[in-house]
Amino acid sequence: MSTAAIWHDAENGAYSADLPLWEELAEEAGGPVLDLGCGTGRVALHLARRGHATVGLDLAPELIAALAERADGLPLQPVVGDAQSFELDADVALALAPMQLAQLLPDGAARVECLRSIAAHLRPGGRAALAIVEALPAESEGPPPLPDVREVDGWVYSSLPLDAVDIGAEIVIQRLRQTVSPAGELSEEENEIRIRTLSAAQLESEAVEAGLTPQARRQIAPTDLHVGSTVVVLGQEG
């Protein structure tokens, strides 16, 4: 397994607060599901194991390679592709963009392009659901977060959340990644992810430009380790 896949598993694999909503939407869709920015398959594997035909799309070949190894025997098609602009062989009934994928795109024009790609691949009456963080919560008085840890072949990978700061146009998420070799040697590096500040209303406006119709929003509650999300649900006219 690649180092990129290990870190992706460590930092994202344990999050499950959104899975009931994605499963509910997949049940209602009654057809194939597209998981955009699927990574190593946190959502895609969950849905496929419950019998939903799923396409997992991600730009990183090493993450898709890890997903392909895990997808054996499941109704899951791993695809290397760019969520901003993609082409698939078939249409889907539901397109999902979990974990603030929409906010990783560089600007509104890129989001509209992504939404147009989604619209082009939705069946009549199909839906899309995109999770976003509209604002950071007030600082908590609770204990500091624990690191996310994985052990692979005797190596220990630890990712400690340091801070999340709203700087206006972006939210900056900082982590300290530490690796301990089987011999006990420690190496560390800081990792930073920047997501664009985005409101549900703005995303819905961009969706209308892309030919999609806003529907009722949904909410994913916060956990001890993760902020809550607003899920913008969009429809394709039948």
Residue among 154, 111, 159 at smallest CA distance from 4 = 159
**φ/ψ of residue 46, rounded to 5:** -60, -45
Least confident of 36-45, 99-108, 112-121, 133-142: 133-142
pLDDT-derived band at 18 (thresholds 50, 70, 90) equals very high
Estimate the share of the chain in helix, then strand, then coil, as percent rounded to the nearest 5: 30, 35, 35
Give pLDDT tens digits for 71-93.
999 999 999 999 999 999 999 99
Between CA 39 and CA 66 the distance in angstroms is 9
Q: What pLDDT was estimated at residue 163?
A: 87
**Residue 175, Cβ neighbours under 10 Å: how many?**
22
Distance of CA 61 to the CA centre of its chain: 16
Q: How far apart are CA 144 and CA 16, in angstroms?
A: 20
Determine contact, residues 135/202, Cβ cutoff 8 Å: no
Residue 142: pLDDT band (50, 70, 90) is low
Domains of the chain: 3-135+198-235 (3.40.50.150), 148-195 (2.20.130)
Instruction: Convert the pLDDT of each residue in 174-231 to its tens digit.
Output: 999 999 999 999 999 999 999 999 999 999 999 999 999 999 999 999 987 788 999 9
Cβ neighbour number for residue 154 with a 10 Å cutoff: 9
In whole angstroms, what is the distance from residue 32 CA to residue 7 CA? 28
pTM metric for this prediction: 0.93
